[in-house]
Structure 1
Amino acid sequence: MTTTVKCPTCQQAVEWSDKSPFRPFCSKRCQLIDLGDWSDESNTISTPMKSGELTPQDAESLIEDIEAMLAKNDDSFFKE
């Protein structure tokens, strides 16, 4: 069974699989529109985190997850 989500930018159906390299976005265009919304602060996090909400172990785990994602990234985002 294939999972389908709506593109956050245009609401088009997107298959959640390796066939959709920009998931959850339908295209590079929608991905960049969303990035632009974040950069001009049209999008924001609704509730700021308080300093005591993450334990040092949680923070370390998040850093390791991010580093692992960056390590397997092929930089194609910046080459197109």
Structure 2
Amino acid sequence: MPAPAEAQLRDGALRPSHGAMRQLDDALKVYAHRDAADFRKRINGLAAIVKQSMKLHPFVRTVYVFSNQRHDRITVALLRVRLSPP
């Protein structure tokens, strides 16, 4: 039996077993970072990994997946730029 927070992929939707569902856009790209990421870096550190290690632009509409050292947890990031009003 899967752990309560484990996600399962069915019918093109990512469905965590606790009932929430997120539908991914067909045009949305998903990249997985192969090396372990330090989750203490927060969003700025993950954006730096995307830019420096993955050689991608972190603020385009793309999903980035990171795992920890033991590869038993993941972080999924959709990085966006918020522009302040003029």
Q: Settle same-fold status: TM greater than 0.5.
A: no
- The structure with the largest alpha-carbon Rg is 1
More strand by share: 2
More helix by share: 1
Q: TM-score range by the shorter chain?
A: under 0.3
TM-score of the superposed pair, with normalisation by structure 1: 0.22
